[in-house]
Amino acid sequence: MRGQRFQSPEEAVDAFNNAVLDLPANEWNKCFENWFERKQMCIYLRGEYFEKQ
């Protein structure tokens, strides 16, 4: 959806909903598995997982 412009907030919400519904289940699974691994790494490293700025 990057770079798209919408005429109304409703049109943006509809586009988002359609994009989400088009994602296969295995893509959702990968997303949550990656998220869980990142959170576990953050816990393991006591918050030092993220680069300092």
What pLDDT shows up at residue 7?
96
Is pLDDT above 90 for 52?
A: no
Cβ atoms within 10 Å of 15's Cβ, excluding its own? 13
pLDDT over 70 (residue 46): yes
Give Cα 45 to chain centroid, integer Å. Answer: 22
What does the pLDDT average to over 9-35?
92
- pLDDT value at 6 more than 80: yes
Entry pTM: 0.51
